[in-house]
Amino acid sequence: MVYLLKIVIVLILLIIIGSLGSGLFFLLKDKERSPRAIKALTLRIGLSLALFVLLLIAFERGWIRPHGLRLNSNPPPGATTSAEGNLP
> Does residue 50 lie within any of the structural domains?
yes
> 48 Cβ partners below 8 Å, 6+ apart?
16
pLDDT confidence bin for 82, thresholds 50/70/90? low
Q: What share of the chain in percent tops pLDDT 70?
A: 77
Domain that holds residue 16: 2-61
Q: Which of 64, 44, 43, 45 is nearest to 54 (CA)?
A: 64
> Does residue 14 lie within any of the structural domains?
yes
Q: Which of 41, 50, 45, 42 is nearest to 8 (CA)?
A: 50
Strand segments (E) across the chain: none
| Higher-scoring residue by pLDDT: 59, 67 | 59
Q: What total number of domains does the chain contain?
A: 1
Q: For 16-28, what is the mean pLDDT?
A: 89
Element housing 18 (H / E): helix 2-29
> Does residue 80 lie within any of the structural domains?
no
Tell whether the model's pLDDT for residue 72 goes beyond 80. Answer: no
- The answer to whether the pTM exceeds 0.75 is no
- Would you state the pLDDT for residue 10? 94
